[in-house]
Amino acid sequence: MEKLQDRRLVLFGAALLLGTLGVVYWPVIAPMVKQWAKDENYSHGFLVPFVSAYLAYMRREDLLAAKVRPCAAGLAVVVAGLVILLLGWLATEYYTMRASLVVVIAGSTLYLLGWEVFRALLVPIAYLLLMVPLPYILYDAAAFPLKLFVTKVSVLALKFLGVVVWQEGNILMFPNVTLEVADACSGLRSIMSLLALGVAYAMVLHSRTRDRVILVASTLPIAVFSNCLRVIATGVLAQYFGAAAAEGFFHEFAGLFVFAGAVVMFMALGAVLRRWP
């Protein structure tokens, strides 16, 4: 048994393995990166590998002190990951193929370096799953009920504020304009980005498990609440300014403002948790 810092050959082998995975998985990785660039729901994917690397760097002392004990069980995990890749390729299911990369990385780490190193790298490796875009069938299944919820809450708030509005599904009908609560207003986009940001924030700046669990769990209600505020503000402005309030610059600016507000609420919650004994 040797410490990781004494196993230069093992580290070289790990680097060589990662290079091999890059070659094997290039047909899978390249389209995923293109989707990050084109799909605003997953633009945070560019940051995930760097955040994962930083999370691993934070554990450098544990890694350097860890005993290297190659584990044969890791080979079974690698084989399972390659089987998942094959099944995903046969079914043309991109999420399965992309997620198999994370499985293979986890299995390779366990096989080459053993349980101590694997435990230290478990969170950084698992974090990589946040860079994999969800299947559209799951995205649509989650977006639709969220749209209806945001619409219903927004209508109740608008009526409370004295705004004349009718609801038909995810459609808001005002006396002078009709607006649709689209997927972008469902909160799912904010949830995906806020989840990636929230996990990183919780793991880097909070050490207590309680704080981390609360922060990660809060991403859903914060994202939905902030998007409700977006729809309510749009509805109030549409009452007085018509459809122009929901189009063009204002619509894009509102999206950025809402996400910034969600981040502020998230960080405020983190500050409260730090003071909560």
* CA 96, chain centre distance (Å): 17
Q: What pLDDT does 232 receive?
A: 86
Q: What is the 3-state secondary structure (H, E, C) of 9-60?
A: HHHHHHHHHHHHHHHHHHHHHHHHHHHHHHCHHHHHHHCHHHHHHHHHHHCH
| Per-residue pLDDT tens over the stretch 104-145 | 999 988 988 889 989 999 999 999 999 999 888 887 788 888
pTM over 0.85: no
